[in-house]
Amino acid sequence: MWVPILHKAVKDTVDRLKALNEKGLGFEPEPKRYYPEASMAAHFLGFVGLDQNGMDRGYFGLEGFYDRELKGKEGSLQIEKDVQGNPILIGQTYRVDPQDGRNLIVWVDRSVQAIVEKRLKDGMEKYGAKEGSVVVMDPKTGGIVAMASLPSYDPRTYFTSEKGQYINPVVGSTYEPGSTFKVLIMAAGINEKVITPTTTMEETGPVEVSGYTIRTWNNKYNGTVAMTDVLVHSSNVGMVYVSQKLGKEKLLSSLKNFGLGKPTNVDLEDESAPQLREDKEWRDIDVATASFGQGIAVTPLQMIRAVSAIANGGSLMEPHVVKAMVDTNGKTTQVPPKKIRQVITRKTAEEVTEMMVASVEQGEAKFAKPAGYRIAGKTGTAQIPVEGHYDETKTIASFVGFAPADNPKFVMLVTLREPSSSQWGSETAAPLFFNIAKDLFLYYGIAPK
């Protein structure tokens, strides 16, 4: 009968022990997870730790979600015993070899992941942000091409990091999306035929809703403006107009149709899904503020998936990291793209895309846009709620968009928490988005026109 005295010994240790030629000392190979890219993609990979019985178990990310598929089956050693339970030394011994688990083929592109992580790190340093995330998705399939968040950790030495860093912020943390949310409300208004891109309204000053005053972000008002201009100027007053045209029932129905309030069913272990408040609890002021992305919470993955529907002709896809699994016999099982539903018409998607292109080319972030490319996008700057009120000095800056606008290769969301160089998404998150987009255009061989 043998007793294990050391698990997962390194080769140098094993060689030195074997050189001792000690009787009764044996060796059994054990699997050990190896991370050749160090901390790259740590949040969506997760890590292998030990369970309560001291056995390997995957935690967080892919490791946690696909733990059973990855670990395979353990081996065993059966020995004949006498009536008292003692091994019979000359008895039969039966050995069952362990079976390897499946291999995962993922949508994630190593080169794109490396681009995203480097640009995010540089951007956070440049803009003085406390936290940041970038997620890149294929809008046609829902495949996640890259996903990065900082601060991060090294899966090889996960035990040296704070446990709060294990959770992937893209799928497990919530935030108020701010003005990026306006494209969803605008799409809802057009799809419900209560507005068109050329519908005009009078933006002459602040509006009052249930005793609250809602202003534009810069306290400037442009008189008669079309809905496209509302996006270009990111007018909160204009979005209140759209929400009032929609009404509470249609607005809430549209939000649910875009998948908000429910999990996306991504194949990562640590997904959360902030719920929408009950329909009866929505007041007029809640409807108004939701139209410009305040007073409502989403995860970054929920947000990018909703915008992906606009990029994908109105089709909402289920996001996935894994595209196929390969077993030990070489048999490949595909994980096909899954369409959830058609949330808006193709015509609506095309019209909102053009509005988003105008927002990029004429909006506050136009200075950072790479020349020669049609990019559909929208900036966002959301104040952070602190102890029951909004802190005017602390914001989450973001930018969501897709390119090329006419036939999107990727959709991307960038978020920066509390940037210190500027609180505005147009001056922080948008330039970071465009810097990554330039690298992606080069990588994918997409030439300017």
Which parts of 176-244 are beta strand (E)?
Answer: 200-203, 207-209, 212-214, 223-226
Cα separation, 183 vs 348, in Å, equals 11
- As a whole number of angstroms, the distance between CA 176 and CA 390 comes to 11
280 burial via Cβ count (<10 Å: 0-12, 13-18, 19+): exposed
φ, ψ of residue 375 to 5 degrees: the values are -120, 130
In the annotation, is 179 catalytic? yes
Distances (CA, A) of 27 to 11, 15, 48, 76, 304: 11, 11, 22, 15, 50
Q: How far apart are CA 244 and CA 139, in angstroms?
A: 30
Using the CB atoms, write b or e for 197-222: b if 16+ within 10 Å: bebbbebeebbebeeeebebbeeebb
8 A C-beta contact, residue 311 and residue 303: no
Give the distance, in angstroms, between the CA of residue 7 and the centroid of all CA atoms in the same chain.
36
Instruction: Tell how many helices (H) and how many strands (E) occur in the chain.
Output: 13, 18
Query: Among the options 149, 152, 173, 179, which is catalytic?
Result: 179
Beta bridge partners of 320: 143
Question: Which sequence positions are flagged as catalytic?
Answer: 179
